[in-house]
Homo-oligomer: A and B are copies of this chain.
Amino acid sequence: MRRINAVLSGLGNIGSRFVGVLDRKRDVLQQKYGVDVRLVAAADVSGGAINPDGLDLAQIASLKGQGIAGIGQAGLGILEILQSVNADIFFEATPVNLQTGEPGLSAIRAALKRGMHVVTPNKGPLALAYGELRALARENGVQLRHSGAVFGGLPTVNIGQRDLAGSTILKIEAQANLANSYILWNMGKGMAYKDAVRAAQEQGCCAPDETLDVEGWDAIIKLVILANSVLEIDARIDDVKREGITHLTPEAVAAVKAEGKVLKYVASAVRRDDGSYELSVGPRALEPNHLLVPLGELQMGVAYTSDLYGIIMATIREEEPTPSASSLMRDMLSIYAP
């Protein structure tokens, strides 16, 4: 049995569910994978808690926004924890911040420098500083894993990195953003843009502030992470041609339908003859036989076209965040029980 000391930052939707998964799967982790995972420290906005023997997972999972300070120390920050605690792996699950990547970015840097593996579904630090973080991981002989950052529980990155091994990827096409997918689907049924946004918010697939979704930023950062991790190019946010859906009218959507096409929000990377990739996100009028057309309005999906493996496509129906949260466990197991 291998003991793994873990630190977690962020106890929101993903972080607290992940702790619950670790708790429920304790026996499987020990018996099937031979790992005994102890959460030796955890932090959220309220503070932090440390226990070298392992915090009580069921207790942490049930905090539900009450703040870990109640069972730990108010104001104890993740950077302080990472400096003082000896741990093998750091799980970073704070909210996405696209301007600075913080607080995730500094914490990931600190953990890598301390020689910890890092697993994160946090798109901010990855989209802003992928190259730097990858280099830092290599320098310190540890791994940086983020399978949950690109389409939640869908193994988008894993398929691209491992299952297409040795191939040249010619094209990636993805339904990458559920909010935009759901909005376009409703507009296709005649709903006005603003009503469709509200419907998406009521459904739960769109944030109360829809800006990041409808202006394309969410799809862009996923594509940037995918381009860095799978295509292995140094892509940045500015390299992606961005088109949102805020300008779409029901008339324009109806016109696409009248042409016999299907309007989908698509993130794509297309290889040019010189080996570089054209990256773009936006609404696209697809032919009815296009690979992405059969995808449901609440499915995420990616299609890889490569020189060796034909067209491989993977999709997920993720109705709540457990698959995304479980991706942290998957990534941990890919490090310790590959």
Chain A residues within 8 Å of B, Cβ to Cβ = 21, 25, 28-29, 32-33, 147, 153-155, 158-159, 162-167, 294, 308-319, 322-323, 326, 329-330, 333-334, 337-338
Residues on the B chain within 8 Å of A25, using CB = 166
Copies per assembly: 2
Could you tell me if B315 and A313 are in contact, using CB atoms closer than 8 angstroms?
yes
Could you tell me if B155 and A330 are in contact, using CB atoms closer than 8 angstroms?
no
Task: List the B residue with the shortest CB-CB distance to A28.
Answer: B166
Task: List the B residue with the shortest CB-CB distance to A333.
Answer: B165
Could you tell me if A158 and B165 are in contact, using CB atoms closer than 8 angstroms?
no
Residues on the B chain within 8 Å of A313, using CB = 314-316
Partner of A323, one of B309, B314, B318: B309
Could you tell me if B159 and A155 are in contact, using CB atoms closer than 8 angstroms?
yes
Task: List the B residue with the shortest CB-CB distance to A295.
Answer: B294
Task: List the B residue with the shortest CB-CB distance to A330.
Answer: B165
Could you tell me if B330 and A154 are in contact, using CB atoms closer than 8 angstroms?
no
Could you tell me if A312 and B314 are in contact, using CB atoms closer than 8 angstroms?
yes
Residues on the B chain within 8 Å of A315, using CB = 312-314
Report whether over half of chain A's contact residues are helix, strand or loop; otherwise say mixed: mixed
Partner of A158, one of B21, B162, B323: B162
A-B contact pairs, 22 of them (CB 8 A): A29-B166, A147-B163, A153-B308, A155-B162, A158-B162, A162-B330, A164-B330, A165-B330, A165-B334, A294-B294, A308-B322, A308-B323, A308-B326, A309-B316, A310-B322, A310-B323, A311-B317, A312-B314, A312-B316, A312-B323, A313-B315, A338-B338
Instruction: State A314–B153 Cα separation when bound (angstroms).
Output: 13
Instruction: State A247–B187 Cα separation when bound (angstroms).
Output: 46
Task: List the B residue with the shortest CB-CB distance to A293.
Answer: B294
Could you tell me if B162 and A334 are in contact, using CB atoms closer than 8 angstroms?
yes
Question: In the complex, how many angstroms separate the beta carbon of A127 from the nearest chain B beta carbon?
Answer: 22
Could you tell me if A167 and B326 are in contact, using CB atoms closer than 8 angstroms?
yes
Instruction: State A279–B239 Cα separation when bound (angstroms).
Output: 49
Question: In the complex, how many angstroms separate the beta carbon of A33 from the nearest chain B beta carbon?
Answer: 7
Could you tell me if A319 and B310 are in contact, using CB atoms closer than 8 angstroms?
yes
Partner of A311, one of B29, B165, B309, B316: B316
Residues on the B chain within 8 Å of A154, using CB = 312
Could you tell me if B167 and A163 are in contact, using CB atoms closer than 8 angstroms?
no
Instruction: State A331–B197 Cα separation when bound (angstroms).
Output: 45
Task: List the B residue with the shortest CB-CB distance to A338.
Answer: B338
Could you tell me if A33 and B166 are in contact, using CB atoms closer than 8 angstroms?
yes
